[in-house]
Amino acid sequence: RRRESDAFEHITGRTADGERVDILMNLAAPDDEILSREPIVDGVGLFRTEFLYLGKNKLPDERESYLAYQKVLKTFGHKPVTIRTMDIGGDKCLDCLSLPQETNPFLGLRAIRLCLKDRDLFRVQLRAVLRAGTDGNLQIMLPMISNLEEIIQVKKILSEVKAELAEGGEAFAANPQLGIMIEVPSIALIADLAAEETDFASIGTNDLCQYLMAADRLNPDVVECYQSFHPALFRLIAQVKEAYHLRGKPVSVCGSMAGNPMFAAVLIGLGIRKLSMDVTEVGEMKRFLSLLTTEHAQKLADRVLTLPTAQSVEEYLQEQMELLG
Ligand code: PEP
Ligand code: MG
């Protein structure tokens, strides 16, 4: 039985008053079934590349990586495909790479930190990404950025890798947009400076919540502390949005909040116009947005920013959702 929301999958993402909202998909392993959903989204807002590394007994080579990225870029044609460089470490350990034993893996050698330490590993991925970029609309996104030096170091590595590709006579995307995930509070708080160094940002609310609350997103003993409705999280998102939009640069949200209508309503109210989510959530989100006016969303966001506790935010939003039906 088709769900009621399936009928909305093929419409364009718009609020009730006609504001365009880009609806993008989060992607992990690019199998044919998920790629066949390309027509219902405006692009890939988050392509998690870890699938190439996880559960493998050897590291993927450049060719294997290139073919995987190329397949997605070709499928999406002119629509943007945001390839996030590997987010390994934290809870994601590899059989094919020995990582240090850490007391606090989520605060350890994760994602961009690992890539800046193991430059050869990173270069192989960047070569594959840049080469695949000739087949579509590539955007490169860096996970777990916590300071500006990391962005600057990556830019330097990128230009070295490009020079190397050019020297080898390889075709590659010369100038893909470069963006960062905003998922560590330190970079969120200097989003104005980060915006000067990058073309776009995407807010990873799963980790931003974890690091803002100092509550492990996987530890059941602290679920009560992992407060997705905490007013601090909304205030920080508002600040990041302002910083990027002031400089004419786009901000999306790609954490799981983006696919949940109750949160999405607040994000729209805060001025976010790009949401990247699980593809199964797309129909319901488009249906929901078609009922929500930007005026109502702004009212929700204004109120949320003044409420004192996660509980009061949750109760308020639940009550408002009932009004929307
Ligand atoms: C996030 O942290 O919100 C995010 C989208 O990245 P991941 O869930 O892959 O850590
Ligand atoms: Mg994350």
Ligand 1: which atom is nearest the Cα of residue 183?
2
Element (H, E) at 158: helix 148-167
* Gyration radius of the chain over CA positions: 20
Q: What ipTM describes this predicted complex?
A: 0.99
Kindly report, residue by residue over 18-58, the tens digit of the pLDDT. 999 999 999 999 999 999 999 999 999 999 999 999 989 99
- The residue among 289 and 90 whose pLDDT is bigger is 289
Facing residues of 179 across strands?
Answer: 141, 200
For range 312-318, the mean pLDDT: 98
Ligand 1: which atom is nearest the Cα of residue 205?
3
Nearest CA to ligand 1 atom 6: 204
Kindly report, residue by residue over 237-267, the tens digit of the pLDDT. 999 999 999 999 999 999 999 999 999 999 9
For range 138-160, the mean pLDDT: 98
| Ligand 1: lining residues by beta carbon, under 6 Å | 46, 48, 87, 183, 204-207, 254-255
Substitution candidate for ligand 1 out of 83, 92, 254 with most atoms within 8 A of CB: 254
Cα–Cα distances in angstroms (integers) from residue 141 to residues 120, 216, 318, in the given order: 18, 23, 33
The predicted pLDDT at position 91 comes to: 78
Band (pLDDT 50/70/90 cuts) for residue 1 is: very low
The predicted pLDDT at position 2 comes to: 63
Alpha-carbon dihedral sign for residues 158, 161, 166, 167? positive
The model carries a pTM of 0.97
Ligand 1: which atom is nearest the Cα of residue 203?
3
Nearest CA to ligand 1 atom 9: 48
- β-pairing, 22-27 with 274-277? parallel
CA of 103 to the centre of ligand 1 (A): 21
Kindly report, residue by residue over 270-308, the tens digit of the pLDDT. 999 999 999 999 999 999 999 999 999 999 999 999 999
